[in-house]
């Protein structure tokens, strides 16, 4: 009754063998295989069958879409669980398949003995992103406890290297690589949020795959809770990437008739390295937004400027100066609630401090609006301080945890009364004040309770607010970059990439955060000369160039800056406003550096008519003079004019600049700029030169 399912979009395809009553198996995920007749599909299926190995099951092994032990799979099971305290032996058969078009398919599997139905959905987007979900329903008469339900995809033998991301506070999304040997490389995170070490992506590729080279397969779990990501290779010759929500024992109990859905797992394949993956994810994320993003406003965030020291005159002057330099959104960070003079109290009481704000926030909000900016406010709706009215009135709403963390506890948002209370408090604020933007923080690991329930509830709270206040924008922050994924971005408009505003750290954080996330949703701010998180001192030009490419903002006390600094900020904002259309719609490119000290990244317009690039010197370069500053992605048959973009502050060089720079730019064919390149400028460490290229 079923057939070989061939999902195909330009540049990518998925082929599944759904013939017969068995669970469909993967024949291919990767390049587009071209138009195939029915008989060619059958020949292809035949050609992919491996031999039967010695000491093996008596049929050829192909990875099924729901691999379990009973089919001869000895790797991580796609599904596992218990009924009545006993592990259930699972063995599925295909009971239904729908292939409504050339890009999507749904398969219905029934477990022959345990009374479960699993529905797996595959959708290949026009951008080549494979969206996958699984739903298990308990069709039996007694409860069934789910241990794991995940998505597994095959990777070929040639994908022998694995890249994933890790990190810590103020040092998020650091790459780590390894050879894929026999065994499982697994990243299980138990934070009750993504965490700073979140494996935001798992990539497997051909040896040496890089930003612009190699064939690579990537999975991303669009989920803001605990992750279970893996790359697994077996002596049988089978290798997989896998992604699932990590569940605690007994966390998901399905009563008869109940179901559990996995978060969406997003996959992408590229034969042009990680940049090819980014191109797919970015264009998918842009097209998938329910509400297209407006031009990303320049933000001033008050956190590092004043911390908890909320004083109207000081903030009013900060706002005045922000408006003078061209800031478009003023965001009042933590410290505005009743008694919130430090981080030990008041979470849960979303009321304005009557002592420091006797007339509420109105004077500040009105002042900000009168200066032509919109107003944003920090909140942390999922949390509660013991020293708060909320905790005193409803101690039963506090999620049990033996550990306080930043002096705070999580609120049990899965409790409908707690949820309604917080929603009510936030609505009261949004009704009273004209607030365009909430900076939504989450500053602790849960360390107890159900992460699943809490994550679902926090997304629901965001969704409830956005449906009541359709214009409201939300930023996802979690002690910096502890909640960054494409799932939370269905409910939010920006992520705070990290609490570090040190541009040297940010260069790496941006480079890797933007493999999956498009640049316009990644918040990057210009901080003080001496970074608060690292104590490192950097020039203004480096800070400006580093924040320029993202959703840009300022987190710097403009009331204590020089007039020169304000003039620089003004020029920088004007340049950002001129170029954000390109920065936030183009194709992100990153050069694989010959010398790791010298990095190049850029954005090329979809029609390749213009591009912006940054040449960045991170640390002392190996050579006194380097060749090959290249600008990939240009139209190789056209000529381009390259000019340095003045961001308002001088860039420091070691000694004499190359002639093209002293001439103020150069005109060359795209073929040369993209290929051979030009002489590197002699940038000092922690300097960046931003250049604009225009097709002639
Ligand atoms: C952590 C965030 O990442 C910071 O930007 C700031 O909002 C503080 N919390 C406020 O408590």
What average pLDDT does range 459-487 have in this prediction? 98
Distance from the alpha carbon of residue 334 to the mean position of ligand 1, in angstroms: 7
Residues 6+ apart with CB under 8 A from 100: none
Per-residue pLDDT of 206-229, as tens digits, reads 999 999 999 999 999 999 999 999
Confidence of residue 458 (pLDDT cuts 50, 70, 90): very high
For residue 1, the model assigns a pLDDT of 53
Are 166 and 176 a contacting pair, CB within 8 Å? yes
> How far apart are the two ends of the chain, measured CA to CA in Å?
58
What average pLDDT does range 496-523 have in this prediction? 98
Q: Could you tell me which of 7, 602, 551, 62 has the C-alpha nearest to residue 278?
A: 602
For the CA atoms of the chain, what is the radius of gyration?
A: 27
Atom of ligand 1 nearest to the CA of 477: 3
Per-residue pLDDT for 84 more than 90? Answer: no
Residues 6+ apart with CB under 8 A from 268: 12, 128, 129, 130, 217, 218, 277, 280, 281
Per-residue pLDDT for 86 more than 90? Answer: no
Provide the sign of the torsion angle of the four alpha carbons 450, 451, 455, 461, taken in this order. positive
What average pLDDT does range 622-632 have in this prediction? 96
The reply to whether ligand 1 has any atom less than 6 angstroms from the CB of 499 is yes
The single residue of 111, 353, 412, 441 carrying the catalytic annotation is 441
For residue 2, the model assigns a pLDDT of 73
What average pLDDT does range 593-613 have in this prediction? 97
What average pLDDT does range 505-531 have in this prediction? 98
Per-residue pLDDT for 82 more than 80? Answer: yes
The residue whose CB lies within 8 Å of the most ligand 1 atoms, and thus the one to mutate among 334, 379, 478, 502, is 334
Atom of ligand 1 nearest to the CA of 439: 7
Q: For residue 641, count other CB atoms closer than 10 A to its CB.
A: 14
Tokens of 378: 């920090």
Tokens of 97: 């398949």
The reply to whether ligand 1 has any atom less than 6 angstroms from the CB of 443 is yes
Q: What is the three-class DSSP state of 658? A: coil
Q: For residue 21, count other CB atoms closer than 10 A to its CB.
A: 9
Q: Could you tell me which of 494, 502, 489 has the C-alpha nearest to residue 523?
A: 494
Per-residue pLDDT for 384 more than 90? Answer: yes
Residues 6+ apart with CB under 8 A from 23: 64, 65, 66, 71, 92, 93, 94, 107, 109
The reply to whether ligand 1 has any atom less than 6 angstroms from the CB of 480 is yes
The reply to whether ligand 1 has any atom less than 6 angstroms from the CB of 263 is no
Q: For residue 241, count other CB atoms closer than 10 A to its CB.
A: 25
Atom of ligand 1 nearest to the CA of 406: 11
Per-residue pLDDT for 581 more than 80? Answer: yes
Percentage of residues in the chain having pLDDT higher than 90: 98
Residue 687 CB-density burial (10 A; 0-12 exposed, 13-18 middle, 19+ buried): buried
For residue 87, the model assigns a pLDDT of 81
Q: For residue 480, count other CB atoms closer than 10 A to its CB.
A: 25
Residues 6+ apart with CB under 8 A from 531: 500, 501, 502, 503, 505, 537, 538
Q: Which value, to the nearest 10 degrees, does the dihedral of the CA atoms of residues 207, 626, 604, 196 take?
A: 60
Per-residue pLDDT of 285-322, as tens digits, reads 999 999 999 999 999 999 999 999 999 999 999 999 99
d(CA 341, CA 343): 7
Q: ∠ CA(580), CA(584), CA(586), 5° rounding?
A: 115
Distance from the alpha carbon of residue 493 to the mean position of ligand 1, in angstroms: 17
Q: For residue 23, count other CB atoms closer than 10 A to its CB.
A: 22
Q: ∠ CA(641), CA(643), CA(645), 5° rounding?
A: 145
Distance from the alpha carbon of residue 441 to the mean position of ligand 1, in angstroms: 7
The reply to whether ligand 1 has any atom less than 6 angstroms from the CB of 496 is yes
Q: Could you tell me which of 113, 67, 118, 64 has the C-alpha nearest to residue 96?
A: 118
Percentage of residues in the chain having pLDDT higher than 70: 100
Distance from the alpha carbon of residue 498 to the mean position of ligand 1, in angstroms: 10
Distance from the alpha carbon of residue 397 to the mean position of ligand 1, in angstroms: 23
Q: How far is CA 662 from CA 385, 613, 631, 644, 658, in A?
A: 58, 18, 19, 10, 6
DSSP structural state of residue 559: G
Tokens of 255: 């009563």
441 carries an active-site annotation: yes
Q: Which domains does the chain have, with CATH numbers?
A: 75-287 (2.70.98.60), 299-496 (3.20.20.70), 503-548+564-696 (2.60.40.1180)
Confidence of residue 400 (pLDDT cuts 50, 70, 90): confident
The reply to whether ligand 1 has any atom less than 6 angstroms from the CB of 479 is yes
Tokens of 528: 């003080």
What average pLDDT does range 466-488 have in this prediction? 98
Are 652 and 629 a contacting pair, CB within 8 Å? no
Per-residue pLDDT of 1-40, as tens digits, reads 579 999 999 999 999 999 999 999 999 999 999 999 999 9
Q: What are the residue ranges of helices labelled H in 334-444?
A: 362-370, 389-393, 416-432
The residue whose CB lies within 8 Å of the most ligand 1 atoms, and thus the one to mutate among 194, 378, 385, 498, is 378
d(CA 158, CA 226): 30
Per-residue pLDDT for 623 more than 60? Answer: yes
Distance from the alpha carbon of residue 184 to the mean position of ligand 1, in angstroms: 36
Residue found under tokens 């900076």? 439
Are 178 and 162 a contacting pair, CB within 8 Å? yes
d(CA 88, CA 133): 22
Per-residue pLDDT for 121 more than 80? Answer: yes
DSSP structural state of residue 436: -
d(CA 321, CA 330): 11
Per-residue pLDDT for 335 more than 80? Answer: yes
The reply to whether ligand 1 has any atom less than 6 angstroms from the CB of 477 is yes
Distance from the alpha carbon of residue 383 to the mean position of ligand 1, in angstroms: 13
The single residue of 197, 499, 565, 592 carrying the catalytic annotation is 499
643 carries an active-site annotation: no
Per-residue pLDDT of 263-291, as tens digits, reads 999 999 999 999 999 999 999 999 999 99
What average pLDDT does range 611-624 have in this prediction? 97
Q: How far is CA 609 from CA 335, 540, 585, 596, 689, in A?
A: 46, 30, 13, 29, 20
Distance from the alpha carbon of residue 208 to the mean position of ligand 1, in angstroms: 38
Q: Which of 110-119, 133-142, 433-442 has the lowest mean pLDDT?
A: 110-119
**Residue 26 forms beta bridges with which residues?**
16
Q: How high does pLDDT run on average in the chain?
A: 97
For residue 401, the model assigns a pLDDT of 80
The reply to whether ligand 1 has any atom less than 6 angstroms from the CB of 226 is no
The residue whose CB lies within 8 Å of the most ligand 1 atoms, and thus the one to mutate among 171, 194, 303, is 303
For residue 457, the model assigns a pLDDT of 98
Atom of ligand 1 nearest to the CA of 333: 7
Q: For residue 579, count other CB atoms closer than 10 A to its CB.
A: 19
Residue identifier of the C-alpha nearest atom 1 of ligand 1 = 479
């Amino acid at each position: 009754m079923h057939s070989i399912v061939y999902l195909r979009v330009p540049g990518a395809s998925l082929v599944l063998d759904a013939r017969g009553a068995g669970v469909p198996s993967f024949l291919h995920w990767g390049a587009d295989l071209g138009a195939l007749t029915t008989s060619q599909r059958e020949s292809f299926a035949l050609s992919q069958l491996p031999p039967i190995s010695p000491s093996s099951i008596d049929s050829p092994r192909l990875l099924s879409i729901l691999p379990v032990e009973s089919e001869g799979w000895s790797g991580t099971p796609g599904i596992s669980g218990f009924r009545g305290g006993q592990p259930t032996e699972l063995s599925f058969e295909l009971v239904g398949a729908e292939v409504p078009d050339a890009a999507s398919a749904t398969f219905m599997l029934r477990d022959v003995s345990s009374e479960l139905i699993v529905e797996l959905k595959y959708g290949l987007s026009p951008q080549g992103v494979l969206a996958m979900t699984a739903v298990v329903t308990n069709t039996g008469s007694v409860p069934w406890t789910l241990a794991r339900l995940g998505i597994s995809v095959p990777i070929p033998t040639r994908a022998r290297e694995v890249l994933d991301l890790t990190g810590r506070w103020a040092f998020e999304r650091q790459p780590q690589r390894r050879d894929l040997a026999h065994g499982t490389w697994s990243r299980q995170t138990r934070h009750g949020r993504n965490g700073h070490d979140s494996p935001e992506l798992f990539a497997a590729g051909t040896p040496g795959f890089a930003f612009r080279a190699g064939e690579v397969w990537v999975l991303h779990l669009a989920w803001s809770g605990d992750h279970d990501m893996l790359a697994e290779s077996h002596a049988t010759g089978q290798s997989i990437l896998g992604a699932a929500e990590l569940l605690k024992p007994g966390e998901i109990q399905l009563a008869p008739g109940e179901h559990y859905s996995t978060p969406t797992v997003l996959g992408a394949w590229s034969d042009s390295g990680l940049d090819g993956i980014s191109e797919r994810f970015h264009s998918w994320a842009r097209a998938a937004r329910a509400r297209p993003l407006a031009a990303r406003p320049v933000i001033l965030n008050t956190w590092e400027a004043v911390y908890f020291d909320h004083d109207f005159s000081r903030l009013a002057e900060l706002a005045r100066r922000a408006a003078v330099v061209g800031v478009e959104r003023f965001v009042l960070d933590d410290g505005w609630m009743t008694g919130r003079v430090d981080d030990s109290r008041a979470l849960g009481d979303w009321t304005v401090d009557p002592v420091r704000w006797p007339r509420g926030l109105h004077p500040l909000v009105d002042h900000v609006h009168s200066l032509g900016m919109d107003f944003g406010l920090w909140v942390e709706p999922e949390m509660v301080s013991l020293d708060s009215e909320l905790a005193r009135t409803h101690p039963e709403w506090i999620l049990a945890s033996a550990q306080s963390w930043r002096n705070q506890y999580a609120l049990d948002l899965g409790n409908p009364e707690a949820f309604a209370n917080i929603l009510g408090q936030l609505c009261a604020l949004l009704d009273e004040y004209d607030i365009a933007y909430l900076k939504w923080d989450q500053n602790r690991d849960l360390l107890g309770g159900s992460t699943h329930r809490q994550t679902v509830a926090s997304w629901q709270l965001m969704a409830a607010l956005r449906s009541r206040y359709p214009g409201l924008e939300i930023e996802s922050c979690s002690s910096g970059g502890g909640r960054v994924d494409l799932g939370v971005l269905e409910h939010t408009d920006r992520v705070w990439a990290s609490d570090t505003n040190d541009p040297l750290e940010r260069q790496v954080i941006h480079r890797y955060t933007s493999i999956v996330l498009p640049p316009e949703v990644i918040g990057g701010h210009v901080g003080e000369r001496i970074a608060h998180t690292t104590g490192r001192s950097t020039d203004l030009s480096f800070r400006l160039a580093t924040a320029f490419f993202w959703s840009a903002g300022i987190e710097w006390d403009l009331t204590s800056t020089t007039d020169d600094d304000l003039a620089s900020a003004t020029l920088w904002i004007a340049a950002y406003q001129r170029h954000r259309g390109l920065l936030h719609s183009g194709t992100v490119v990153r050069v694989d550096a010959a010398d790791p000290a010298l990095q190049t990244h850029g954005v090329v317009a979809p029609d390749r008519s213009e591009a912006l690039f940054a040449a960045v010197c991170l640390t002392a370069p190996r050579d006194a003079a380097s060749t090959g500053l290249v600008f990939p992605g240009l139209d190789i048959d056209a000529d381009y004019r390259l000019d340095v973009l003045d961001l308002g502050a001088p860039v420091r060089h070691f000694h004499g600049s190359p002639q093209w720079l002293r001439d103020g730019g150069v005109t060359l064919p795209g073929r040369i700029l993209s290929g051979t390149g030009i002489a590197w400028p002699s940038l000092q460490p922690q300097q960046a030169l931003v250049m604009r290229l225009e097709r002639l």
